Amino acid sequence: MPFSLMDIAVRRYGHRGSLWITRFRFITLGGMKVAAVQLTSTGNITENQEIALTKIREAAGNGARLIVLPEATSQNFRSGRLDEQAQSLEGPFATAIQALAEELEVTVVAGMFCPADTVERDGKTINRVSNTALIAGPGVLGGYDKIHTYDAFDYHESDTVLAGESLVAFDVDDLVVGAATCYDIRFPEQFKELASQGAQLIVVPTSWADGPGKLEQWRLLTAARALDSTSYIVAAGQSRPGGDAEAGNPSGPTGIGHSTIVDPNGVRVAEAGYEDDILYAEIDPNEVAKTRRTLPVVTPAD
């Protein structure tokens, strides 16, 4: 059945200015099995589109209703200028994923880059992009633009990426799902605010750079955000270039692998290694409700 889409400004969120919650309404049939797809995107958006479509078909064939792919699925960060292959949500990459999601009657979240604005810096003209988590389902194209740009560890994402200003949540079956991307996971207030607006699960498409201590940080942060928000975390990341042989060495802003699904008590129920993989888990809204009764750290919005 077709989904309906509602853009609703629900409440201001007082971090990094006045941000707005946007809600996408999905009505679906069936259970609530989720998949976190770990893959290696290339520098070619057409090639990555085919990789994504293949993975989505596989996950849907295994019963997943919500399928989460990594940040930068459309083009990896090490492959040159992002603006040269950036596309709008009406472009071929997003519409191909939306068409398959409609065919399979699933909801898909996948990282891509959309044209944003043009700025002048140091005498240079820079065409910035939005780091967008595409949200696609039957009859629906939407997205969440990453709020916290990765300006850390000697990398400056904000040089080429325009920060988003709106939180996004959407409903799949009877579950409210919030959206975040990669570096957002270091900011607990975003996750707590999504939970206060009703999110029971938060998706985190990621391209987490490797380096000394980065895997330990990733594991700690995903568990901490689940506990902060008493929500499920479904974090899908890019695979590690070089696999185990390169583990722990700086990778640039690409991947460390170790996609994960964490329950509302901070327990890791599934975790990938360094290579391509798909994780699955059954999401139980009753577990969220139970956790929030016994650990009432989230204050519901009025």
The single residue of 55, 146, 192, 214 carrying the catalytic annotation is 146
**What 8-state DSSP symbol labels residue 159?**
G
157 is catalytic: no
Contact 252, 239 (CB under 8 A): no
Angle at 106 between CA 169 and CA 22, to 5 degrees: 15
How many C-alpha atoms does 200 have within 13 Å on its Cβ side? 17
Annotation says 55 is catalytic: no
Catalytic residue, from 71, 114, 192, 193: name it. 71
Separation between Cα atoms, residue 246 and residue 86, nearest integer Å: 30
Contact assessment for residue 276 and residue 38, using Cβ atoms and an 8 Å cutoff: yes
With CA atoms as reference, report the closest residue to 69 among 87, 48, 96, 90: 48
SS3 222: helix
Strands 232-237 and 201-206: parallel
Q: Which residues are catalytic?
A: 71, 146, 182
